[in-house]
Structure 1
Amino acid sequence: MISTDSLRNAAFGRSRFNTQGKLAGQSTIFLCHSHKDQNLAFGFSQMLQNAGCKVYIDWLDEEMPETPNKETAIRIRQKIKENEYFVYLATENSSRSRWCPWEIGYADGVKVLDRIIIVPTRDRATSYGQEYLGIYRRLDIASDGQLAIFDPVTNAGRYVRNIW
């Protein structure tokens, strides 16, 4: 599990956050997370960008309504479909969110199963990621410090840079 401290530390590089268009060969990711975890989302997006990904975060989308409404749901569905991968940042806040469970439920219905990836996190005392999330692949830090995606059945992992 990725520690929330490591995500916060990675967030210090947020000034480098890439909001530009997709580069050739670059994978695109819809990052599902609680808005209460902005620093964690920024930190994690930095890790993903360093692995060669383009990350979509809804509150950076200028076309997103300021107050959540029906248009918000329509836009989120569109972005989940548009992006190659759906990545769920499992935290205490995302488990309590009204939107995050809806988003993963929607993604489960429109994405191929191997394009949905869970990022379980832990803080000093607790690990996060509800038991039903165990059916999806998970992204974690491998023993050598690199990002890897692990199969939920075999627990075999592959480096992210070889998958995207």
Structure 2
Amino acid sequence: MTIRQSDLTNAAYGRTQRGFSAKRYGQPSAFLSHSHKDERLALGLQQMLVAQGWDIYIDWQDQQMPDQPDAETAMRIKRAIIGADWFLFLATENSTASRWCPWEIGYADGEKPLNRIAVVPTTDANGSFYGNEYLRLYSRIDTANSGGLALFDTKNQGIWVRSL
């Protein structure tokens, strides 16, 4: 299964918390790589993961991020990627075509252990699946058959997201 973009959009409308907060003990944190064109989908995924006890960093929620992308933007993104426990790549048509998202996952690949990088594949309303071939190198966060979110490693063994 993959996460439907409509489910992410619906979750975004039910938001109760926003932004990266002070990390609680044992709470996983993640940098969410996504296209800014997919703001609503990113908010929905953030909401779904926050409900599972995660703390999710989204760059445009960072008050100290420059208004226009520049070298400082890249440095802040690098620090956020390194500082988070996980790197998540929201795979959509927009993110795979983005200039920043492939750079971010490439940077994360060089800085984070492979088992701390996960792709979140999505399908759109037409049933189109998004994710380039290289994204299949990483674990994925997906909808489990019994509902809820799970992390599936490259051998397709799942662990509940709440348990990570």
Q: TM-score, normalised by structure 1?
A: 0.96
2:113 and 2:19 mapped to 1: Cα distance?
Answer: 26
2:16 and 2:65 mapped to 1: Cα distance?
Answer: 21
1:19 and 1:134 mapped to 2: Cα distance?
Answer: 27
1:81 and 1:113 mapped to 2: Cα distance?
Answer: 13
**1:27 Cα deviation from its structure 2 partner:** 0.8
Q: TM-score, normalised by structure 2?
A: 0.96
From 144, 147, 156, give the equivalent of 1:145.
147
Correspondences of 1:74-93 after superposition (within 5 Å): 74-93=75-94
CA change 1:78–1:19 in 2 (3 A) is closer
> What amino acid is the match of 1:131?
E
- SS at the partner of 1:16? coil
1:9 and 1:96 mapped to 2: Cα distance?
Answer: 24
User: CA offsets per residue over residues 124-155 of structure 1, 9 Å max, x none?
Assistant: 22110111100100000101111001111x21
Question: Quick check: 2:23–2:55 contact (8 Å CA) kept in 1?
Answer: yes
- SS at the partner of 1:114? helix
**1:97 Cα deviation from its structure 2 partner:** 0.6
**1:15 Cα deviation from its structure 2 partner:** 4.2
- SS at the partner of 2:122? strand
Question: Quick check: 2:31–2:80 contact (8 Å CA) kept in 1?
Answer: yes
User: CA offsets per residue over residues 29-72 of structure 1, 9 Å max, x none?
Assistant: 00000001110000000011011100100001011100000100
Correspondences of 1:46-61 after superposition (within 5 Å): 46-61=47-62
- SS at the partner of 1:20? coil
Aligned residues: 162
Correspondences of 1:1-164 after superposition (within 5 Å): 1-125=2-126, 126-152=128-154, 154-163=155-164
2:17 and 2:137 mapped to 1: Cα distance?
Answer: 33
The alignment's C-alpha RMSD in Å is: 1.0
**1:161 Cα deviation from its structure 2 partner:** 1.1
CA change 1:59–1:18 in 2 (3 A) is closer
1:134 and 1:43 mapped to 2: Cα distance?
Answer: 23
List structure 1 segments (4+ residues) > 4 angstroms apart after TM superposition: none
